[in-house]
Amino acid sequence: MRTLEEQWAAPEALSTPLIGIPAGSAVDVELRLESVHEGILITGEAHAELMGECSRCLDPIQDGITVDLQELFLAAAPEGGSDEERLVVQETVDLEPVLRDAVVTALPFQPVCRPGCQGLCADCGIRLEDAGEDHVHEQLDPRWAALAALTKTSEPGATGPEPKTSSDETEER
């Protein structure tokens, strides 16, 4: 058995669209490599810093992640099976796919900056925490929108298009 504590540079695509480990950033790895009858059993943990944005309010997120790693690399291909079914030890073992699988499946699908994040207003886009409790938008049924536009222009003092007169029409010609 061997133990290994190293710091690796994060490979590309250790992320989902909203959060992940930036490529090239440090990933601290603590591994235990054991020789077993079938091949090499690798177990351990990886620690890294996440960067992304909140899925509700789009604020930046910085957090840490720790994932467990475990994989068996076979000494020889299984009889009757293909090499693609299991990982086979050649001269070295490639732990990048193992790290990628562990990290990407552990990432939140919709990360939030804090559990109570209310997000953004769907109508005007301001943060709901900053808007206050009295923040509302008039919801008008779209079927009545044309009628509402007519009633606004017919109210006294309302600004709207001025009715055309016959002198305006002759000036346009």
pTM of the predicted protein model: 0.65
pLDDT over 60 at 154, yes or no? no
Over residues 15-31, mean pLDDT: 94
pLDDT band at 85 (very low <50, low <70, confident <90, very high): very low
Residue 30 to residues 27, 71, 89, 116, 169: CA-CA distances in angstroms? 10, 14, 20, 34, 84
Q: With bands split at pLDDT 50, 70 and 90, how would you rate the model's confidence at 157?
A: low
Beta bridge partners of 2: 33
pLDDT of the residue at 143: 82
State mean pLDDT over 12-18: 90
The domains of the chain are located at: 2-106
* pLDDT classification of 78: cutoffs 50, 70, 90: low
- Cβ neighbours of residue 66 under 8 Å, at least 6 residues apart? 45, 46, 47
The CA distance from 143 to 147, in Å, is 8
